[in-house]
Amino acid sequence: MRHLNGVAKLNKSKSHRKALLQNLANALFEHERITTTVPKAMELRRVADRLITLAKRKDLHSMRLAFGVLRDKQIVKKLFTDIADRYSAINGGYTRVLKIGNRKGDNAPMAMIELTMRKEKAETTPKETKKETKKKETKVKKETVAKKEPKEKKEPKAKKEAKPKKEAKVESEEPKVKKPRKKKEEIKEEETPQEDKA
């Protein structure tokens, strides 16, 4: 009999569905909370709970089975060391799905799936403005440049030898006199007698 053996097809082929759930599971174990559509979250919950149950066994065979699904060594390592230790005392209920309304573009029902025992981040700092981060970066760059290039020692300055001053240029005895410009009428008068002579 095939009771409870069905799977949500998600309008995808088997290989596409397998790859999708693999990527979603990797993202869930890495970030411990992700947002996706409700049908994908419900299907992912089945996969993630089975993988955490495998991780609690902590033997080589179960590690290889988990790697066959996830195909990521770092995520499998985190799953078997960190995540499995958190759930060692309980059986089941490793993930929760919270519906968060519909998506703005296509009105798809969205959900947030997360691990029930998440690690809280130690320090949450308020977001800095872009100007403040740029200022910090420039300060750090200046400091590193200053550290890398040590200042040269200043040598005592030797007394400069007195250089003879250059003699001023002797101006010609006759200063240049600017000639006044000729008016147009004078120019025409000068031109006409020359033409007569020729």
CATH code of the domain containing 82 = 3.90.1030.10
Per-residue tokens: 3: 């009771």
Q: How many CA atoms lie within 13 A of 15 on its CB side?
A: 0
Q: Which amino acid is at 190?
A: E
* 189 located within any domain: no
* 61 located within any domain: yes
* 20 located within any domain: yes
The answer to whether 70 and 26 are in contact (CB under 8 A) is yes
Is it the case that residue 186 has pLDDT exceeding 90? no
The answer to whether 32 and 95 are in contact (CB under 8 A) is no
Domain that holds residue 67: 14-115
Q: What is the pLDDT of residues 131-175, one digit of tens each?
A: 676 666 776 666 666 666 655 666 666 665 656 566 555 555 666
What gap in Å lies between CA 14 and CA 166, rounded to an integer?
95
* 19 located within any domain: yes
* 28 located within any domain: yes
Total domains present in the chain: 1
* 147 located within any domain: no
Q: What is the pLDDT of residues 35-80, one digit of tens each?
A: 999 999 999 999 999 999 999 999 999 999 999 999 999 999 999 9
* 165 located within any domain: no
* 35 located within any domain: yes
pTM across the whole model: 0.61
